[in-house]
Structure 1
Amino acid sequence: MLRVATYNVRGLKDDRRALVRVIRALRPDVLCVQEAPRLPGWRRERRALARAAGLSVAAGGSVGGTAVFVAPAVRLLSGRGHRLRWFPGLEWRSVALAVVEKTVEKDRERYAVCSAHLDLQAGARLSHAAQIMPILERAARQSRAAPVLAGDLNEVPGSPVWRLLAARYTDCFTAVRDAAPHTGPHTGPHIGAGIGAGIAAGGDDGRAGATFPARDPRMRIDAIFAGPGLTVVSCGGADVPATDLPAASDHLPVVAEIAVTPSAGA
């Protein structure tokens, strides 16, 4: 089982100590980062953040601000960045992709994990989402790994990008929400703070699982998608003091536990 988290860290413009506390509370095997530092000194800044959180930088370049960090519990097999199609007048976007291996009991499970940050412009978002899926699945196929896509979609569920991704992958939040027993406000499997409250409530009132803005979450625009052959075990947020979340970033993080489905192999 792999513990994957995604977090838009807003270029480290907020309280870094709170940010590190939130990341540590997520306890990720793999952390997908958006708005990672990309100005001069970006490598040093990313390494410092990763080190403070007990992680190391696995993938990502200066363009696009996406990165993947990994914990010592996983073995990094490969890591790289991919620049996406450039649209004139818009920010040049990219994805960071890391292939990792985790030993679970005697089994070695491989995952190809992709961090994405989609554009504010709808046409570019959809074009990039369509471009990202074959990049991720090619890496997964070549490495005999299971694909995982995580990031800031800049779009709410039901919109075109979500429909495109949901046709191929499993939205971890929805999978856990739909599976959770609706017996009370604190019910739900492995739920932390933040977006976990929306899952635990057992419903979706339009704000359930919201990740943005952190001070008054109203929209769910950050997500983790599990590819074919994977089972979603849990999905939630960081179990930290409520004051740390808005202090750390303008987004809330999402964390999910994902396992290779036994019949699918590793």
Structure 2
Amino acid sequence: RDDEDALARVIRACEPDLVFVQEAPRFFRWRKHAARLAAKSDLVVLSGGATAAGPMLLCSLRATVERTEDVLLPLTPGLHRRGLATAVVRFGRARVGLVSCHLSLRKDERYAQAGMVLDRVAALGTPYTLVAGDLNERPDGPAFRRLATELRDGWEASPWGGAYTSTPADPHQRIDAILATPGVEFLGCGVPTDLDPADLRAATDHLPVLAAVRVPATP
């Protein structure tokens, strides 16, 4: 239902090496739709999509891919299935784990899923990891706090641009975040303020969060 061309223009304007997507194509010919979005954005599909119940990772050709894994989280009857798109990549000598997530709308399930995200971060076995997604919760919520206790919240570490991600027409809450394990330096993190407002409204139902980070070289 979103404008794919507008979304691609927003992504290209940010010039990212990595994109953490939520609510990626999941149904008929979803791989074709995901590949088309990646191509329009001058990127490639790294992992996720329907096989991760929605989260997806895109990357530039600067990334050297070590491995990928899509993880389905436990299904609560009557609720939408959630999952994680994960990968381990290298940029030069910097080795970093990646987790794209979209947490539940229900408070208790969301809190449990935050713990599963942290478990997956530990299981990646990388010296540094980036986690990004729609947390469906403000920073004072228990799931957000659970993540921010062990990971650094990019906006809190180095705020840049805007804070609020929902909704594009009336930004009033921060429910999306980029977080990282200790050792990753945030140079800036927030909602870009210099993008086309019409594209932002048409692209998706959340505003994008952009972060510039410095990841140390792996010995």
**Do Structure 1 and Structure 2 share a fold, with TM-score over 0.5?**
yes
1:80 to 69, 80, 93: 69
| AA in 2 matched with 1:241 | D
Bigger RCO of structures 1 and 2 (CA < 8 A, at least 6 apart) = 1
Kindly provide the CA deviation profile for residues 197-217 of structure 1, in whole angstroms up to 9, marking residues without a partner as x. Answer: x3xxxxxxxxxx110011111
Asked if 2 retains the 8 angstrom alpha-carbon contact of 1:116 and 1:150, the reply is: yes
> Which residue in 2 is equivalent to 1:161?
143
Kindly provide the CA deviation profile for residues 108-165 of structure 1, in whole angstroms up to 9, marking residues without a partner as x. Answer: 10110100000100011001110111112211x1xx4411110000000111011101
Say if 2:94 is the partner of 1:118: no
CA offset at residue 61 of structure 1? 4.1
Asked if 2 retains the 8 angstrom alpha-carbon contact of 1:214 and 1:250, the reply is: yes
Structure 1 unaligned spans of 5+: 1-12, 178-190, 199-208
Task: Say which SS state the counterpart of residue 243 (structure 1) adopts.
Answer: helix
The 1-side partners of 2:73 and 2:167 are apart by: 26
Map 1:114-263; keep pairs closer than 5 Å: 114-139=99-124, 141=125, 144-177=126-159, 191=160, 196=161, 198=162, 209-238=163-192, 239-261=194-216
Asked if 2 retains the 8 angstrom alpha-carbon contact of 1:226 and 1:258, the reply is: no
CA offset at residue 14 of structure 1? 1.9
The 1-side partners of 2:29 and 2:158 are apart by: 39
Task: Say which SS state the counterpart of residue 150 (structure 2) adopts.
Answer: coil
Q: Following TM superposition, where does structure 1 have runs of at least 4 consecutive aligned residues deviating by more than 3 angstroms?
A: none
The 2-side partners of 1:16 and 1:164 are apart by: 33
The 1-side partners of 2:211 and 2:26 are apart by: 27
Asked if 1 retains the 8 angstrom alpha-carbon contact of 2:114 and 2:144, the reply is: no
Alignment RMSD: 1.4
Asked if 1 retains the 8 angstrom alpha-carbon contact of 2:22 and 2:134, the reply is: yes
> Which residue in 2 is equivalent to 1:96?
85
Task: Say which SS state the counterpart of residue 154 (structure 1) adopts.
Answer: coil
CA offset at residue 27 of structure 1? 1.2
> Which residue in 2 is equivalent to 1:60?
48
The 2-side partners of 1:211 and 1:244 are apart by: 15
CA offset at residue 260 of structure 1? 2.4
The 1-side partners of 2:195 and 2:206 are apart by: 14
Asked if 1 retains the 8 angstrom alpha-carbon contact of 2:86 and 2:97, the reply is: yes
CA offset at residue 87 of structure 1? 1.0
CA offset at residue 24 of structure 1? 0.5
Pairs aligned (count)? 217
| AA in 1 matched with 2:96 | Y
Task: Say which SS state the counterpart of residue 156 (structure 2) adopts.
Answer: helix
The 2-side partners of 1:260 and 1:15 are apart by: 33
Asked if 2 retains the 8 angstrom alpha-carbon contact of 1:97 and 1:136, the reply is: no
The 2-side partners of 1:111 and 1:219 are apart by: 29
> Which residue in 1 is equivalent to 2:60?
71
Kindly provide the CA deviation profile for residues 147-203 of structure 1, in whole angstroms up to 9, marking residues without a partner as x. Answer: 1110000000111011101110110011113xxxxxxxxxxxxx4xxxx1x3xxxxx
Asked if 1 retains the 8 angstrom alpha-carbon contact of 2:34 and 2:49, the reply is: no
Asked if 1 retains the 8 angstrom alpha-carbon contact of 2:94 and 2:216, the reply is: no
